[in-house]
A and B are shown apart, each in its own frame.
Chain A
Amino acid sequence: MKTVLMILAIVCLVSLPLVLTRPRAGVDAFGGTDDKAKMAVESLHPDYKPWVHPLWNPPSGEIATLLFSLQAALGAGIIGYYLGYLKGRGKKE
């Protein structure tokens, strides 16, 4: 019961901003904070030039999404495997 309530709270915390937040015109709605910080650096110090660039960039947004999903899927798979193993072991005993 407590767990169900906590899951519901997580769903609300993550989904309510999507419904309640009105993105301002001209502002990239739900962009990443990392990019916003980059823009803040550029506005604070317009003459600053990044002195290195990433060795490799995902060629498209789709590829970046693929890699992020892969990262999440791998992690979730390991956690699920471990919990399933513990639960099965508990039953056997």
Chain B
Amino acid sequence: MHIMEGYLPVAHAAGWWVASLPFMGVGVHSLKRIVREHPSARALLGTSSAFVFVLSALKLPSVTGSCSHPTGTGFGAILFGPSVMAVLGSIVLLFQALLLAHGGLTTLGANAFSMAIVGPWVAYGLFCGLRQCGASFSVTVFVAATLGDLATYVCTSAQLAWAFPDTTSGFIGALVKFLTIFAVTQIPIAVAEGLITVILMNALKSYNPEELRGLNVLRPGGLDK
């Protein structure tokens, strides 16, 4: 999902920066609030960043014969809400832009918007919605993490299609083209991310349930199966 350095026209690159900055600002604010209200959650915040770090470094093969990487942002979004991920995800993207020539500084706004904002918001929204519907904890986490991952890649495809519409079929034609590259490749990888997020979340649930209750991820009284 990394749009390469220079591969967005100036207006688009700047526009996505403007769109992402407020989310990052709110993210810093909510990061401060979490550290103040739940000082013991600092280790878990570190673990959430570490999860994004690991998963976004792994380029996995997929059925389309291309490789792509999971995002790892659903895990932290479920634990701390989506705002925090705008900061944590952008830090990972910055590292990759500077040291790996993967993504770029001009495209960081757009890449942060897809990976650190859209993905986490979709994951968090689904987590809250499904939990409201009474789905089991594992299923809720799985669906949220999987579709959050996929949403990031759909967003990247739309961003590129908007900047580079097909000369004959326009935005839709280009969108189909970018979706076949990104979203189709991503399906099995997103499912794998969903599963690994469930494994890690279940480990937290058995070793540290009181922290999850404190963050309102688990409901009080052992209601979550």
Q: State which residues 45-93 of A face B: CB under 8 Å.
A: 45, 48, 50-58, 64, 67-69, 71-72, 74-79, 82-83, 85-87, 89-90
Q: Which residues of chain B have C-beta atoms less than 8 A from A44's C-beta? A: 164-167, 174, 177
Q: Does B216 contact A (CB under 8 A)?
A: no
- A30 and B61 in contact (CB under 8 A), knowing A41-B160, A44-B174, A74-B53? yes
A20 touches B63 (CB 8 A): yes
A82 touches B164 (CB 8 A): no
Nearest chain A CB to B54 CB, angstrom units:
3
Q: Which residues of chain B have C-beta atoms less than 8 A from A38's C-beta? A: 4, 7
Q: Does B31 contact A (CB under 8 A)?
A: no
- A56 and B192 in contact (CB under 8 A), knowing A68-B57, A79-B47? no
Nearest chain A CB to B131 CB, angstrom units:
19
B104 touches A33 (CB 8 A): no
Question: In chain B, what residue has the closest Cβ to A87?
Answer: B207
Q: State which residues 37-91 of B face A: CB under 8 Å.
A: 43-44, 46-47, 49-68
B192 touches A13 (CB 8 A): yes
How many chain A residues touch B (CB < 8 A): the figure is 59
A56 touches B99 (CB 8 A): yes
Nearest chain A CB to B12 CB, angstrom units:
11
Q: State which residues 8-53 of B face A: CB under 8 Å.
A: 9-10, 43-44, 46-47, 49-53
A50 touches B101 (CB 8 A): no
Q: State which residues 169-219 of B face A: CB under 8 Å.
A: 174, 177-178, 181-182, 185-186, 188-189, 191-192, 195-196, 198-200, 202-204, 207-208
Q: Which residues of chain A have C-beta atoms less than 8 A from B189's C-beta? A: 13-14
A13 touches B164 (CB 8 A): no
Q: Does A26 contact B (CB under 8 A)?
A: no
Q: 12 new A-B pairs (CB below 8 Å) besides A50-B6, A78-B49?
A: A3-B199, A36-B66, A37-B182, A41-B7, A45-B164, A45-B167, A56-B101, A58-B99, A58-B101, A74-B50, A74-B53, A75-B57
Q: List 25 A-B contacts (CB under 8 A).
A: A3-B202, A7-B199, A9-B192, A10-B196, A13-B189, A14-B189, A22-B65, A24-B65, A27-B65, A30-B61, A33-B1, A33-B185, A37-B7, A37-B156, A40-B181, A50-B6, A51-B106, A56-B99, A67-B99, A71-B95, A71-B96, A75-B55, A76-B54, A82-B50, A86-B208
Taking Cβ atoms with an 8 Å cutoff, the residues of B that contact A are 1-7, 9-10, 43-44, 46-47, 49-68, 95-102, 104-106, 138, 156, 160, 164-167, 174, 177-178, 181-182, 185-186, 188-189, 191-192, 195-196, 198-200, 202-204, 207-208
